[in-house]
Amino acid sequence: MELIDLSSLPNGEGRFTTFLDQICARFELDHAAYAGTNPIAGTIHGYVNYSDDWKSHYVEHGFHRIDPTLHMASRSIAPVDWRRLERDENFQKVFRNAGDFGISDQGLTIPVRGPFGDIGMLSVTRNCPLPEWDKLKEHIIGELQSVAVHVHDTVMRSDVLSQVLRFPPLSTREKEILQWTAAGKSQQDVGDILGISHRTVEVHLRSAREKLYALTTPQAIGRAIALGLIYPL
């Protein structure tokens, strides 16, 4: 199943949990959660697809104030396997009874840092034998990184001020590559035309896509045209 671009889902809080469900289905995960802070709007956002029982247990015990899968993991630059947090007494406190709620303490948090001091975390869990978990992780971690930034950027842009501010400018090279791609050239062709390696083309294209909050290149081209960054052909 392909992930749906978040901006194409109908507005409203429900779309984020729908997206989390999609992430679980696509990457063979049990649960997913996103938490983020937006210092510009002064807001905190959280979306989970955990059971209501676990949600109320979690909030009742004030776990959001001590949960190291949030507070410690957000300070890492790399995804944090929760095994790294096991020695933390707060980890034990939060997850001691998680099993009763069908929540696994085998998980991973992907920290995201944004340009305005905003931070976000996408956490996912999967209850399975350890070797299987390690294999799954290795397999999905790259795409999960992209998905985490996509969710974070979309949530952070949900207020009016951020929508105006939060548009990372594209470089001349990124626009050039988008323009040639819009003209139907392959990465290899674009590389030959511009005298750079195809991997350099690829890394610029990916950056341009993400700056335009698009998951695919055609989407990115559509948006770039709409914004007047490149010419329609």
- Whole-angstrom Cα distance, residue 46 to residue 155? 9
| Bridge partners for 113 per DSSP | 119
Paired strand residues for 121:
35, 111
Residue in 44, 165, 203, 227 binding another protein, rule: CB under 8 A: 203
Question: Shortest Cβ distance from residue 120 to another protein (Å)?
Answer: 10
State which of positions 80-99 bind another protein (CB under 8 A).
80, 84-85
Q: Does 148 bind another protein (CB under 8 A)?
A: yes
Please give the structure tokens belonging to residue 72: 């410690």
Residue type, 219: Q
Q: Which residues in the 22-81 window bind another protein by CB under 8 A?
A: 72-73, 75-80
Query: Using CB under 8 A, which of 18, 90, 145, 219 touches another protein?
Result: 145
Instruction: Assign 3-class secondary structure to the chain.
Output: CCCCCHHHCCCCCHHHHHHHHHHHHHHCCCEEEEEEEECCCCEEEEEECCCHHHHHHHHHCCHHHCCHHHHCHHHCCCCEEHHHHCCCHHHHHHHCCHHHHCCCCCEEEEEEECCCCCEEEEEEECCCCHHHHHHHHHHHHHHHHHHHHHHHHHHHCCCHHHHHHCCCCCCHHHHHHHHHHHCCCCHHHHHHHHCCCHHHHHHHHHHHHHHCCCCCHHHHHHHHHHCCCCCCC
Residue closer to another protein, measured from CB, 109 or 125: 109
- The correct pick among 169, 184, 228, 233 for binding another protein (CB under 8 A) is 169
Q: Which of 104, 113, 128, 185 binds another protein (CB under 8 A)?
A: 113
Give how many residues touch another protein by CB under 8 A: 44
Q: Does position 192 bind another protein by CB under 8 A?
A: no
Does residue 17 belong to the site contacting another protein (CB under 8 A)?
A: no
Stretch that binds another protein, among 14-22, 23-31, 45-53, 171-179 (CB under 8 A): 171-179
124 contributes a contact to another protein by CB under 8 A: no
By CB under 8 A, tell whether 185 contacts another protein.
no
Give least dist CB 69 to another protein, A. 12
Q: Which parts of this chain interact with another protein (CB under 8 A)?
A: 72-73, 75-80, 84-85, 110, 112-115, 117, 119, 138, 141-146, 148-150, 168-174, 196-197, 199-200, 203-204, 206-207, 210-211
